[in-house]
């Protein structure tokens, strides 16, 4: 390789090393904040919610008192399905994608992580909601539905206190 290219590559490697060190420091700081914040610590008891998502929900989400139920919180994030109802027949469509885009993305990523973790353990337990959904729906659709459930559970944790408890049939 010509010396100019070698010098350029060394500059790029040094920049990447500096950025990696800074990312590591910020990650440690974020984990420390998550351990100190009561809401974030309780949110991290849910599968699929780590320090980044927990701190983001604690900081970016509106106060839980603003919502009367978990569905309202999920709709505020943009994870609730649109309703196309007529004549007493309820039809649910795609998610609205209105609201807090960053929280929606983090919850969907967390849901995908929870799905992958369940599949690595040999699949979700038979008869569980996740196993039934994965058997009949595409994985991404299941991830969005799981993110919706996670948003509702996050609201319940913030509004009523407590921590996540694994359902008996999960």
Dump pLDDT digits (tens) for 5-56: 898 999 999 999 999 999 999 999 999 999 999 999 999 999 999 999 999 9
Q: Please list the residues that pair with 95 across neighbouring strands.
A: 81
Distance CA 159, CA 161 (A): 6
> Which comes out higher in pLDDT, residue 10 or 122?
10
Across 112-130, average pLDDT: 84
Note the pLDDT of residue 81: 76
> Which comes out higher in pLDDT, residue 95 or 150?
150
Q: Token pair of 18, please?
A: 């500096």
**110 falls in which pLDDT band (50, 70, 90)?**
very high
Note the pLDDT of residue 89: 75
Q: Beta-carbon neighbour count of residue 147 at 10 Å?
A: 26
- Is 51 in contact with 110 (CB distance < 8 Å)? no
Taken as a whole, the chain contains a residue count of 170
Distance CA 151, CA 72 (A): 10
Across 86-115, average pLDDT: 82
- State how far the alpha carbon of 46 is from the alpha carbons of 26, 81, 95, in Å: 23, 22, 22
- State how far the alpha carbon of 85 is from the alpha carbons of 76, 82, 89, 144, 167, in Å: 20, 9, 6, 21, 31
Contacts of 87 (CB under 8 A, 6+ apart): none
Query: What is the H or E stretch that residue 93 is in?
Result: strand 92-95
Note the pLDDT of residue 94: 66
Note the pLDDT of residue 87: 76
**170 falls in which pLDDT band (50, 70, 90)?**
low
């Amino acid at each position: 390789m010509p010396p100019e290219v070698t010098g350029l590559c060394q500059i790029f490697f040094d920049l990447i090393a500096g950025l990696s060190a800074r990312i590591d420091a910020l990650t440690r700081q974020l984990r420390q904040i998550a351990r100190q914040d009561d809401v974030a610590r309780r949110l991290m008891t849910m599968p699929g919610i780590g320090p980044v998502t927990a701190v983001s929900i604690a900081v970016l989400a509106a106060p839980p008192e603003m919502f009367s139920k978990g569905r309202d919180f999920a709709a505020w994030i943009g994870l609730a399905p649109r309703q196309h109802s007529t004549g007493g027949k309820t039809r649910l469509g795609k998610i609205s994608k209105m609201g807090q885009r960053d929280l929606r993305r983090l919850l969907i990523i967390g849901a995908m992580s929870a799905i992958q973790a369940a599949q690595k353990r040999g699949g979700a337990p038979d008869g569980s909601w996740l196993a039934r959904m994965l058997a009949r729906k595409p994985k991404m659709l299941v991830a969005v539905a799981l993110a919706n459930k996670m948003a509702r559970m996050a609201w319940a944790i913030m509004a009523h206190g407590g921590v996540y408890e694994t359902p008996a049939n999960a």
